[in-house]
Amino acid sequence: MKYDFDQVIDRANTACEKWDDLQNRFGVNDVIPMWVADMDFKSPPSVIQALTQRVEHGIYGYACRPDSYIDALVQWVKRRHQWSIEGEWMAHTPGILPAISVIINSFTQPGDKIMIQTPVYHPFARIITSLGRQVVNNSLKFENGRYTMDFADLEAKLDGGVKILVLCNPHNPVGRVWSREELTMLGQICIKNKILVISDEIHCDLVYKGYKHTPFAAVSEAFAEQSFTCIAPSKTFNLAGLQTSCIIIPNEALRERFNQSINSLAIGSPNALGITATEIAYRSGDEWLEQAIDYIQGNLAFLVRYFQENIPQIKVIQPESTYLVWLDCRELGLAADELATFMLTKARVAMNEGHIFGTDGEGFMRMNIGCPRSLLEKSVHQIKEAVTFLCRA
Ligand SMILES: Cc1ncc(COP(=O)(O)O)c(C=O)c1O
Protein backbone atom coordinates (compact mmCIF):
# COMPACT_ATOMS: atom_id res chain seq x y z
CA MET A 1 0.00 0.00 0.00
CA LYS A 2 1.27 3.44 -0.91
CA TYR A 3 -0.39 5.16 2.04
CA ASP A 4 0.34 4.24 5.63
CA PHE A 5 -2.95 3.63 7.41
CA ASP A 6 -1.15 1.65 10.13
CA GLN A 7 0.48 4.78 11.49
CA VAL A 8 -0.85 5.64 14.93
CA ILE A 9 -1.17 9.41 15.19
CA ASP A 10 -1.56 11.09 18.55
CA ARG A 11 -4.67 13.24 18.20
CA ALA A 12 -4.66 14.45 21.81
CA ASN A 13 -4.75 18.21 22.33
CA THR A 14 -5.82 18.99 18.78
CA ALA A 15 -9.30 20.08 19.96
CA CYS A 16 -10.54 16.85 18.43
CA GLU A 17 -13.97 15.69 19.59
CA LYS A 18 -13.24 11.98 19.39
CA TRP A 19 -10.22 12.01 21.72
CA ASP A 20 -10.27 15.34 23.53
CA ASP A 21 -13.95 15.35 24.45
CA LEU A 22 -14.07 11.90 26.08
CA GLN A 23 -14.27 13.21 29.62
CA ASN A 24 -17.04 15.58 28.72
CA ARG A 25 -19.03 13.06 26.69
CA PHE A 26 -18.43 9.80 28.60
CA GLY A 27 -17.09 10.97 31.97
CA VAL A 28 -13.86 9.02 31.49
CA ASN A 29 -10.56 9.58 29.72
CA ASP A 30 -8.65 6.32 29.61
CA VAL A 31 -10.82 4.48 27.10
CA ILE A 32 -10.28 3.74 23.41
CA PRO A 33 -12.51 6.11 21.41
CA MET A 34 -14.41 4.18 18.72
CA TRP A 35 -17.38 6.50 18.56
CA VAL A 36 -17.91 9.75 16.61
CA ALA A 37 -17.72 9.28 12.84
CA ASP A 38 -14.30 10.46 11.82
CA MET A 39 -11.18 8.44 11.08
CA ASP A 40 -7.83 8.34 12.86
CA PHE A 41 -6.07 8.55 9.47
CA LYS A 42 -4.44 11.58 7.93
CA SER A 43 -6.18 13.03 4.89
CA PRO A 44 -4.54 12.34 1.50
CA PRO A 45 -1.04 13.88 1.13
CA SER A 46 -2.23 16.04 -1.79
CA VAL A 47 -4.82 17.60 0.53
CA ILE A 48 -2.29 18.23 3.28
CA GLN A 49 0.09 19.80 0.77
CA ALA A 50 -2.58 22.07 -0.71
CA LEU A 51 -3.72 23.12 2.76
CA THR A 52 -0.13 23.79 3.85
CA GLN A 53 0.38 26.06 0.86
CA ARG A 54 -2.90 27.80 1.55
CA VAL A 55 -2.02 28.26 5.24
CA GLU A 56 1.39 29.64 4.34
CA HIS A 57 -0.26 32.24 2.18
CA GLY A 58 -1.21 33.81 5.47
CA ILE A 59 -4.42 35.62 4.58
CA TYR A 60 -7.67 33.94 5.59
CA GLY A 61 -10.30 36.47 4.60
CA TYR A 62 -13.73 35.74 3.13
CA ALA A 63 -13.67 32.98 0.54
CA CYS A 64 -15.65 32.23 -2.61
CA ARG A 65 -16.33 29.11 -4.64
CA PRO A 66 -14.39 29.39 -7.90
CA ASP A 67 -15.56 27.64 -11.09
CA SER A 68 -12.74 25.11 -10.66
CA TYR A 69 -14.25 24.10 -7.29
CA ILE A 70 -17.72 23.58 -8.76
CA ASP A 71 -16.19 21.64 -11.64
CA ALA A 72 -14.28 19.35 -9.24
CA LEU A 73 -17.57 18.42 -7.55
CA VAL A 74 -19.38 17.85 -10.85
CA GLN A 75 -16.55 15.62 -12.11
CA TRP A 76 -16.35 13.66 -8.87
CA VAL A 77 -20.05 12.82 -8.84
CA LYS A 78 -19.85 11.79 -12.49
CA ARG A 79 -16.64 9.76 -12.13
CA ARG A 80 -17.49 8.01 -8.88
CA HIS A 81 -21.27 7.66 -9.12
CA GLN A 82 -22.05 7.98 -12.83
CA TRP A 83 -24.49 10.82 -12.17
CA SER A 84 -24.32 13.86 -14.46
CA ILE A 85 -25.18 16.97 -12.53
CA GLU A 86 -25.09 20.67 -13.41
CA GLY A 87 -22.99 23.09 -11.38
CA GLU A 88 -26.01 25.33 -10.97
CA TRP A 89 -27.95 22.57 -9.20
CA MET A 90 -25.62 22.89 -6.23
CA ALA A 91 -26.30 24.77 -3.04
CA HIS A 92 -23.71 25.00 -0.31
CA THR A 93 -23.81 24.63 3.44
CA PRO A 94 -21.21 24.16 6.19
CA GLY A 95 -22.60 20.70 6.94
CA ILE A 96 -25.29 18.20 6.07
CA LEU A 97 -27.18 18.62 9.34
CA PRO A 98 -27.61 22.39 8.88
CA ALA A 99 -28.96 21.62 5.39
CA ILE A 100 -31.45 19.07 6.70
CA SER A 101 -32.58 21.53 9.32
CA VAL A 102 -33.03 24.30 6.73
CA ILE A 103 -35.01 22.02 4.39
CA ILE A 104 -37.37 20.91 7.15
CA ASN A 105 -37.80 24.46 8.36
CA SER A 106 -38.39 25.90 4.89
CA PHE A 107 -40.63 23.24 3.37
CA THR A 108 -42.81 22.21 6.30
CA GLN A 109 -44.81 23.82 9.10
CA PRO A 110 -44.65 23.15 12.84
CA GLY A 111 -46.64 20.01 13.58
CA ASP A 112 -45.98 18.48 10.15
CA LYS A 113 -44.82 14.89 9.92
CA ILE A 114 -41.32 13.91 8.81
CA MET A 115 -40.41 10.27 8.25
CA ILE A 116 -37.18 8.54 9.23
CA GLN A 117 -36.10 4.89 9.10
CA THR A 118 -34.68 3.74 12.42
CA PRO A 119 -32.27 2.66 13.65
CA VAL A 120 -30.81 5.75 12.01
CA TYR A 121 -28.33 8.56 12.60
CA HIS A 122 -29.75 10.05 15.79
CA PRO A 123 -29.61 13.81 14.99
CA PHE A 124 -32.37 13.34 12.38
CA ALA A 125 -35.01 12.81 15.08
CA ARG A 126 -33.49 15.49 17.29
CA ILE A 127 -33.65 18.11 14.52
CA ILE A 128 -37.23 17.19 13.59
CA THR A 129 -38.52 17.44 17.14
CA SER A 130 -36.52 20.53 17.99
CA LEU A 131 -38.15 22.28 15.03
CA GLY A 132 -41.58 21.34 16.42
CA ARG A 133 -42.29 18.75 13.72
CA GLN A 134 -43.41 15.18 14.37
CA VAL A 135 -41.24 12.13 13.75
CA VAL A 136 -42.97 9.29 11.91
CA ASN A 137 -40.91 6.16 12.08
CA ASN A 138 -40.70 3.57 9.34
CA SER A 139 -38.48 1.05 11.17
CA LEU A 140 -36.15 -1.03 9.06
CA LYS A 141 -36.84 -4.76 9.04
CA PHE A 142 -34.12 -6.93 10.56
CA GLU A 143 -34.20 -10.52 9.34
CA ASN A 144 -31.40 -13.08 9.19
CA GLY A 145 -28.79 -10.54 10.18
CA ARG A 146 -29.72 -8.09 7.42
CA TYR A 147 -31.68 -4.86 7.33
CA THR A 148 -34.20 -4.03 4.59
CA MET A 149 -36.88 -1.39 4.14
CA ASP A 150 -40.44 -2.12 5.20
CA PHE A 151 -42.41 -0.77 2.23
CA ALA A 152 -45.82 -1.95 3.49
CA ASP A 153 -45.34 -0.03 6.73
CA LEU A 154 -44.01 2.96 4.78
CA GLU A 155 -47.05 3.15 2.53
CA ALA A 156 -49.45 2.70 5.41
CA LYS A 157 -47.84 5.54 7.36
CA LEU A 158 -47.64 7.96 4.44
CA ASP A 159 -51.43 8.13 4.40
CA GLY A 160 -51.14 10.21 7.54
CA GLY A 161 -49.80 13.29 5.72
CA VAL A 162 -46.01 12.93 5.86
CA LYS A 163 -44.26 15.87 4.12
CA ILE A 164 -40.61 14.78 3.98
CA LEU A 165 -38.71 11.50 4.15
CA VAL A 166 -35.13 11.67 5.40
CA LEU A 167 -33.32 8.84 3.66
CA CYS A 168 -29.87 7.73 4.81
CA ASN A 169 -28.17 6.40 1.67
CA PRO A 170 -25.94 4.51 2.47
CA HIS A 171 -27.38 3.90 5.88
CA ASN A 172 -25.74 4.86 9.16
CA PRO A 173 -25.59 2.83 11.41
CA VAL A 174 -26.68 -0.42 9.69
CA GLY A 175 -24.29 -0.01 6.76
CA ARG A 176 -26.70 -0.89 3.96
CA VAL A 177 -25.99 0.40 0.45
CA TRP A 178 -29.56 0.66 -0.83
CA SER A 179 -29.96 -1.05 -4.18
CA ARG A 180 -31.43 0.64 -7.24
CA GLU A 181 -34.50 -1.61 -6.85
CA GLU A 182 -35.03 -0.59 -3.23
CA LEU A 183 -34.58 3.10 -4.07
CA THR A 184 -36.97 2.76 -7.00
CA MET A 185 -39.67 1.26 -4.77
CA LEU A 186 -39.10 3.94 -2.16
CA GLY A 187 -39.07 6.79 -4.68
CA GLN A 188 -42.21 5.63 -6.45
CA ILE A 189 -44.10 5.62 -3.17
CA CYS A 190 -42.80 9.11 -2.34
CA ILE A 191 -43.71 10.50 -5.77
CA LYS A 192 -47.21 9.02 -5.52
CA ASN A 193 -47.68 10.64 -2.12
CA LYS A 194 -45.96 13.96 -3.00
CA ILE A 195 -43.29 13.47 -0.34
CA LEU A 196 -40.03 15.41 -0.65
CA VAL A 197 -36.96 13.23 -0.12
CA ILE A 198 -33.80 14.38 1.62
CA SER A 199 -31.19 11.83 0.58
CA ASP A 200 -28.29 12.10 3.01
CA GLU A 201 -25.43 10.57 1.01
CA ILE A 202 -22.54 11.68 3.22
CA HIS A 203 -21.23 8.07 3.35
CA CYS A 204 -21.65 7.39 -0.38
CA ASP A 205 -17.96 7.33 -1.30
CA LEU A 206 -16.94 4.79 1.34
CA VAL A 207 -18.56 1.77 -0.25
CA TYR A 208 -16.96 -1.65 0.04
CA LYS A 209 -15.78 -3.65 -2.95
CA GLY A 210 -18.65 -5.58 -4.48
CA TYR A 211 -21.25 -2.87 -3.74
CA LYS A 212 -22.31 0.16 -5.73
CA HIS A 213 -23.83 3.37 -4.42
CA THR A 214 -26.84 4.68 -6.33
CA PRO A 215 -27.67 8.35 -5.79
CA PHE A 216 -31.41 8.47 -5.11
CA ALA A 217 -31.87 11.34 -7.58
CA ALA A 218 -29.99 9.46 -10.31
CA VAL A 219 -32.69 6.77 -10.46
CA SER A 220 -35.09 8.94 -12.45
CA GLU A 221 -35.78 12.53 -13.39
CA ALA A 222 -38.93 12.47 -11.30
CA PHE A 223 -36.89 11.46 -8.22
CA ALA A 224 -34.35 14.22 -8.98
CA GLU A 225 -37.15 16.81 -9.19
CA GLN A 226 -38.51 15.88 -5.78
CA SER A 227 -35.32 15.51 -3.78
CA PHE A 228 -32.31 17.09 -2.12
CA THR A 229 -29.05 15.10 -2.27
CA CYS A 230 -26.53 15.86 0.44
CA ILE A 231 -22.87 15.10 -0.23
CA ALA A 232 -19.58 16.11 1.38
CA PRO A 233 -15.90 15.18 1.47
CA SER A 234 -16.21 15.00 5.28
CA LYS A 235 -16.31 11.22 5.75
CA THR A 236 -14.57 10.30 2.48
CA PHE A 237 -11.36 12.22 3.13
CA ASN A 238 -11.67 12.85 6.88
CA LEU A 239 -12.40 16.55 6.44
CA ALA A 240 -15.48 16.97 8.65
CA GLY A 241 -13.84 19.72 10.70
CA LEU A 242 -13.49 21.91 7.60
CA GLN A 243 -17.27 22.18 7.35
CA THR A 244 -17.85 22.05 3.62
CA SER A 245 -20.90 20.34 2.12
CA CYS A 246 -22.92 20.44 -1.05
CA ILE A 247 -26.65 19.99 -1.54
CA ILE A 248 -27.69 18.99 -5.04
CA ILE A 249 -31.15 20.33 -5.90
CA PRO A 250 -32.08 19.83 -9.58
CA ASN A 251 -35.54 21.38 -9.13
CA GLU A 252 -35.15 25.13 -9.62
CA ALA A 253 -38.08 26.18 -7.44
CA LEU A 254 -36.91 24.02 -4.53
CA ARG A 255 -33.36 25.28 -4.99
CA GLU A 256 -34.38 28.93 -4.96
CA ARG A 257 -36.38 28.51 -1.80
CA PHE A 258 -33.54 26.60 -0.16
CA ASN A 259 -31.02 29.29 -1.13
CA GLN A 260 -33.29 32.03 0.19
CA SER A 261 -33.30 30.32 3.58
CA ILE A 262 -29.53 29.86 3.52
CA ASN A 263 -29.15 33.56 2.71
CA SER A 264 -31.55 34.65 5.41
CA LEU A 265 -29.59 32.62 7.95
CA ALA A 266 -26.29 33.88 6.50
CA ILE A 267 -24.70 30.40 6.64
CA GLY A 268 -23.71 30.10 2.97
CA SER A 269 -20.23 31.59 3.22
CA PRO A 270 -17.52 29.06 2.47
CA ASN A 271 -14.73 28.00 4.78
CA ALA A 272 -11.54 29.09 2.99
CA LEU A 273 -9.59 25.97 3.96
CA GLY A 274 -12.59 23.76 3.23
CA ILE A 275 -12.71 25.00 -0.35
CA THR A 276 -9.01 24.27 -0.90
CA ALA A 277 -9.21 20.83 0.68
CA THR A 278 -12.43 19.77 -1.03
CA GLU A 279 -11.33 20.75 -4.51
CA ILE A 280 -7.99 18.96 -4.34
CA ALA A 281 -9.51 15.90 -2.64
CA TYR A 282 -12.19 15.52 -5.30
CA ARG A 283 -9.67 16.11 -8.08
CA SER A 284 -6.91 13.82 -6.93
CA GLY A 285 -8.10 11.65 -4.05
CA ASP A 286 -9.27 8.54 -5.94
CA GLU A 287 -6.22 6.39 -5.35
CA TRP A 288 -6.02 7.29 -1.66
CA LEU A 289 -9.72 6.55 -1.27
CA GLU A 290 -9.41 3.11 -2.93
CA GLN A 291 -6.63 2.22 -0.51
CA ALA A 292 -8.49 3.63 2.49
CA ILE A 293 -11.49 1.45 1.58
CA ASP A 294 -9.21 -1.60 1.19
CA TYR A 295 -7.70 -0.93 4.59
CA ILE A 296 -11.07 -0.45 6.28
CA GLN A 297 -12.37 -3.58 4.58
CA GLY A 298 -9.33 -5.38 6.02
CA ASN A 299 -10.25 -4.02 9.45
CA LEU A 300 -13.77 -5.33 8.95
CA ALA A 301 -12.57 -8.81 7.94
CA PHE A 302 -10.37 -8.89 11.04
CA LEU A 303 -13.25 -7.74 13.25
CA VAL A 304 -15.71 -10.30 11.88
CA ARG A 305 -13.23 -13.15 12.32
CA TYR A 306 -12.20 -12.02 15.79
CA PHE A 307 -15.76 -11.79 17.05
CA GLN A 308 -16.70 -15.16 15.51
CA GLU A 309 -13.71 -16.89 17.06
CA ASN A 310 -13.48 -15.08 20.39
CA ILE A 311 -16.69 -13.24 21.21
CA PRO A 312 -19.51 -15.21 19.54
CA GLN A 313 -22.04 -13.56 21.86
CA ILE A 314 -21.64 -10.35 19.81
CA LYS A 315 -22.71 -10.50 16.17
CA VAL A 316 -21.27 -8.15 13.57
CA ILE A 317 -23.91 -6.85 11.15
CA GLN A 318 -21.89 -6.96 7.95
CA PRO A 319 -21.80 -3.39 6.59
CA GLU A 320 -21.71 -2.71 2.85
CA SER A 321 -20.28 0.75 3.37
CA THR A 322 -18.85 3.12 6.01
CA TYR A 323 -16.36 2.47 8.77
CA LEU A 324 -19.23 2.33 11.24
CA VAL A 325 -20.09 -1.17 12.33
CA TRP A 326 -23.36 -2.16 13.97
CA LEU A 327 -22.85 -4.78 16.66
CA ASP A 328 -25.68 -6.94 17.91
CA CYS A 329 -24.89 -7.38 21.62
CA ARG A 330 -28.31 -8.65 22.70
CA GLU A 331 -27.00 -12.09 23.62
CA LEU A 332 -25.05 -10.51 26.46
CA GLY A 333 -28.42 -10.05 28.14
CA LEU A 334 -27.71 -6.52 29.36
CA ALA A 335 -30.22 -3.68 29.47
CA ALA A 336 -29.41 -0.62 27.32
CA ASP A 337 -27.81 1.39 30.13
CA GLU A 338 -25.99 -1.69 31.50
CA LEU A 339 -24.53 -2.42 28.05
CA ALA A 340 -23.22 1.13 27.69
CA THR A 341 -21.69 1.06 31.17
CA PHE A 342 -20.22 -2.39 30.53
CA MET A 343 -18.47 -1.34 27.32
CA LEU A 344 -17.18 1.82 28.90
CA THR A 345 -16.12 0.67 32.33
CA LYS A 346 -15.30 -3.03 31.80
CA ALA A 347 -14.13 -3.15 28.16
CA ARG A 348 -12.90 0.45 28.30
CA VAL A 349 -13.98 1.17 24.76
CA ALA A 350 -16.14 4.22 23.97
CA MET A 351 -18.74 3.39 21.32
CA ASN A 352 -22.14 4.84 20.45
CA GLU A 353 -25.02 3.24 22.31
CA GLY A 354 -27.49 1.60 19.93
CA HIS A 355 -30.63 2.96 21.58
CA ILE A 356 -29.77 6.55 20.61
CA PHE A 357 -30.45 5.55 16.98
CA GLY A 358 -34.01 4.53 17.89
CA THR A 359 -35.62 2.10 20.30
CA ASP A 360 -34.99 -0.69 17.77
CA GLY A 361 -31.28 -0.07 18.39
CA GLU A 362 -31.48 -1.26 21.99
CA GLY A 363 -28.95 -4.00 22.68
CA PHE A 364 -26.70 -2.83 19.83
CA MET A 365 -23.53 -0.72 19.81
CA ARG A 366 -22.00 1.26 16.93
CA MET A 367 -18.26 0.83 16.58
CA ASN A 368 -16.03 3.05 14.46
CA ILE A 369 -13.30 0.98 12.77
CA GLY A 370 -11.75 3.86 10.82
CA CYS A 371 -8.49 3.53 12.71
CA PRO A 372 -5.10 1.77 12.56
CA ARG A 373 -5.45 -2.01 12.87
CA SER A 374 -3.38 -2.05 16.08
CA LEU A 375 -5.94 0.15 17.82
CA LEU A 376 -8.78 -2.04 16.62
CA GLU A 377 -6.92 -5.15 17.85
CA LYS A 378 -6.44 -3.55 21.25
CA SER A 379 -10.09 -2.60 21.55
CA VAL A 380 -11.51 -6.00 20.57
CA HIS A 381 -9.07 -7.68 22.92
CA GLN A 382 -10.37 -5.50 25.76
CA ILE A 383 -13.97 -6.36 24.77
CA LYS A 384 -13.10 -10.06 24.76
CA GLU A 385 -11.58 -9.86 28.25
CA ALA A 386 -14.63 -8.07 29.58
CA VAL A 387 -17.12 -10.45 27.94
CA THR A 388 -15.20 -13.50 29.15
CA PHE A 389 -15.32 -12.14 32.70
CA LEU A 390 -19.03 -11.30 32.36
CA CYS A 391 -19.93 -14.75 31.07
CA ARG A 392 -17.95 -16.47 33.81
CA ALA A 393 -19.61 -14.43 36.58
C1 LIG B 1 -25.62 10.07 8.00
C2 LIG B 1 -24.93 11.31 8.50
N3 LIG B 1 -25.41 12.50 8.15
C4 LIG B 1 -24.82 13.65 8.58
C5 LIG B 1 -23.71 13.60 9.40
C6 LIG B 1 -23.12 14.87 9.90
O7 LIG B 1 -22.87 15.72 8.85
P8 LIG B 1 -22.32 17.19 9.08
O9 LIG B 1 -21.18 17.11 10.03
O10 LIG B 1 -21.91 17.60 7.70
O11 LIG B 1 -23.46 18.01 9.59
C12 LIG B 1 -23.17 12.37 9.77
C13 LIG B 1 -22.01 12.30 10.65
O14 LIG B 1 -21.67 11.30 11.20
C15 LIG B 1 -23.81 11.19 9.31
O16 LIG B 1 -23.35 9.98 9.62
**Distance between CA atoms of 93 and 61, rounded to whole angstroms?**
18
**23 C-alpha vs ligand 1 centroid, how far in Å?**
22
One domain, residues 202 and 130: yes
> 196 with 345, same domain?
no
Residues 36 and 80 in one domain: no
**Distance separating alpha carbons of residues 292 and 289, to the nearest angstrom:** 5
Residue 393 has pLDDT above 90, yes or no: no
Tell me the pLDDT tens digit for each residue of 57-76.
Answer: 999 999 999 999 999 999 99
- Is 132 contained in some domain? yes
Both 273 and 197 in one domain: the answer is yes
Check whether residue 115 and residue 235 sit in a common domain: yes
Average confidence (pLDDT) over 242-270 = 97
Ligand 1 centre from 97 Cα, in Å?
Answer: 6
Out of 178-182, 208-212, 261-265, 387-391, which region has the weakest mean confidence (pLDDT)?
387-391
- Residue 159, pLDDT > 80, answer no
Which percentage of the chain shows pLDDT scores above 70? Answer: 100
Average pLDDT, the chain: 97
Give Cα 315 to chain centroid, integer Å.
21
Q: Which CATH number covers residue 370?
A: 3.90.1150.10
- Same domain, residue pair 291 and 150: no
Last residue of a domain, one of 256, 284, 312: 284
Average the pLDDT over 235-263 and give the result: 98
- If asked whether residues 117 and 246 sit together in one domain, one would say yes
Cβ of 96 closer than 6 Å to ligand 1, yes or no, is yes
Q: Which of 268, 284, 300 is the last residue of a domain?
A: 284
Is there a domain that residue 85 lies in?
A: yes
pLDDT tens digits along 330-359: 999 999 999 999 999 999 999 999 999 999
Q: Domain range holding 156? A: 48-284
- The confidence score (pLDDT) of residue 76 equals 98
Does 1 have pLDDT greater than 90? no
pLDDT over 90 at 54, yes or no: yes
**pLDDT of 115 strictly over 90:** yes
pLDDT at 364 over 90: yes
Residue at a domain's end among 238, 258, 284? 284
248 and 148 share a domain?
Answer: yes
Please tell me the total count of domains within the chain: 2
274 and 292 share one domain: no
Asked if residue 6 is part of any domain, the answer here is: no
Ligand 1 atom closest to 99 (CA): 11
Q: Is 100 in the pocket of ligand 1 (CB under 6 A)?
A: no
User: Does ligand 1 come within 6 angstroms of the Cβ of 245?
Assistant: yes
